[in-house]
Amino acid sequence: FTFGGLRINTDGNVLDTGDVPIPGLFAAGELVGGIFYGNYLGGAGLMSGSVFGRLSGGSAARYARG
């Protein structure tokens, strides 16, 4: 669990410290930053996993196909 998480773009790519996408690295669920700051809502991780899992999974599949 990474409270605060990783920065991603709208395709789910993980961004480096210069906000440049890291090729082939995608994040979803509780790894995604910017959702939980000072508190954690019960069950919110499931929704985050569903939403960002679909987004990042689709992006990862497109990346893998080239």
Q: For 26-48, how does the pLDDT look when each residue is reduced to its tens digit (9 = 90+)?
A: 988 777 877 766 666 777 777 77
Torsion angle of the four alpha carbons 6, 4, 37, 34, in this order, in degrees rounded to the nearest 10 = 0
Q: State the average pLDDT over residues 1-7.
A: 71
Assess whether pLDDT exceeds 60 at residue 49: yes
The percent of residues above 90 in pLDDT, for the chain, comes to: 42
Cα(63)–Cα(21) distance, integer angstroms:
12
Q: Would the pTM count as exceeding 0.95?
A: no
Average pLDDT over residues 5-24: 93
